Chains A and B, each alone.
Chain A
Amino acid sequence: DAGITQSPRHKVTETGTPVTLRCHQTENHRYMYWYRQDPGHGLRLIHYSYGVKDTDKGEVSDGYSVSRSKTEDFLLTLESATSSQTSVYFCAITDRTTGTEAFFGQGTRLTVV
């Protein structure tokens, strides 16, 4: 199994509070992604990173920010959590060699009350 660890695995937070989710990899892969999974929507890309300090937006980036100060860590921050951000969040990594698949973490279940 690819070495990807997401923390925390579960979190309940109140509306308006900041929340940071962490993705840590031990594979030295260049690319890291944050997705959210919601019923009826499958996986939607929030942000991704193609190197240290290099990030870009995905299709549902509003309300989220990311940072990557080290190859192994990719942080997702909800600056002011809203109930619409209740979801399961997945981190994925790949080295993007042609045909190489993405490897996924176990997910973080976030509930905003």
Chain B
Amino acid sequence: GNSVTQMEGPVTLSEEAFLTINCTYTATGYPSLFWYVQYPGEGLQLLLKATKADDKGSNKGFEATYRKETTSFHLEKGSVQVSDSAVYFCALSEDTGNQFYFGTGTSLTVIP
């Protein structure tokens, strides 16, 4: 079956620190991979995506590379800001089938 496992939180970092949030997946086909961000009281917003192996998604200084050999899609940012404080969700969608599969979310707090 399909599933997503992501790093447990919460994660607390100082401003300008390096961020990594780990995400691994299990899929029966050829999935697309996504990172979503959720700010307090809001819905999920797409942060970045990758649709095939070795693709790198990037947005707002965040990056993630689709690694088929390790079935991973780790989220990274070189220098976090207070405004990056949010919950981050890793997700996959198969090229066949109708569903999206989400990890449990990782809460990030960035302190000044």
Residue ranges of A at the interface with B (Cβ–Cβ < 8 Å): 31, 33, 35, 40-43, 45, 48, 50, 56, 58, 90, 92, 94, 96, 98-107
Q: Of A40, A99, A104, which one neighbours B51 at CB under 8 angstroms?
A: A99
Closest chain A CB from B35 CB (angstroms): 10
Residue ranges of B at the interface with A (Cβ–Cβ < 8 Å): 32, 34, 36, 42-46, 49, 51, 89, 91, 93, 95, 98-100, 102-105
Whole-angstrom distance between the alpha carbons of A104 and B99 in the complex? 14
Known: A40-B104, A42-B89. A31 touches B98 (CB 8 A): yes
Known: A43-B89, A90-B43. A58 touches B99 (CB 8 A): yes
Closest chain B CB from A58 CB (angstroms): 7
Are A48 and B99 within 8 A (Cβ)? Answer: yes
> How would you classify the secondary structure of chain B's contact residues: helix, strand, loop or mixed?
strand
Q: How many A-B residue pairs have CB under 8 A?
A: 53
Q: Name 14 interchain pairs, CB-CB below 8 A, sorted by A.
A: A35-B102, A42-B103, A45-B99, A58-B99, A92-B44, A94-B100, A101-B46, A102-B93, A104-B36, A104-B43, A104-B44, A104-B45, A105-B43, A106-B42
Residue of B whose beta carbon sits closest to that of A59: B99
Residue of B whose beta carbon sits closest to that of A58: B99
A contact residues around B43 at 8 Å (CB): 90, 104-107
Closest chain A CB from B54 CB (angstroms): 14
Q: Of B45, B95, B105, which one neighbours A98 at CB under 8 angstroms?
A: B95
Q: Of B44, B45, B49, which one neighbours A99 at CB under 8 angstroms?
A: B49
Q: Which of B34, B49, B93 has the most CB of A within 10 A?
A: B93
B contact residues around A45 at 8 Å (CB): 99-100
Closest chain A CB from B31 CB (angstroms): 10
Q: Of A41, A92, A105, which one neighbours B100 at CB under 8 angstroms?
A: A92
Residue of A whose beta carbon sits closest to that of B94: A98
Whole-angstrom distance between the alpha carbons of A59 and B89 in the complex? 18
Residue of A whose beta carbon sits closest to that of B55: A99
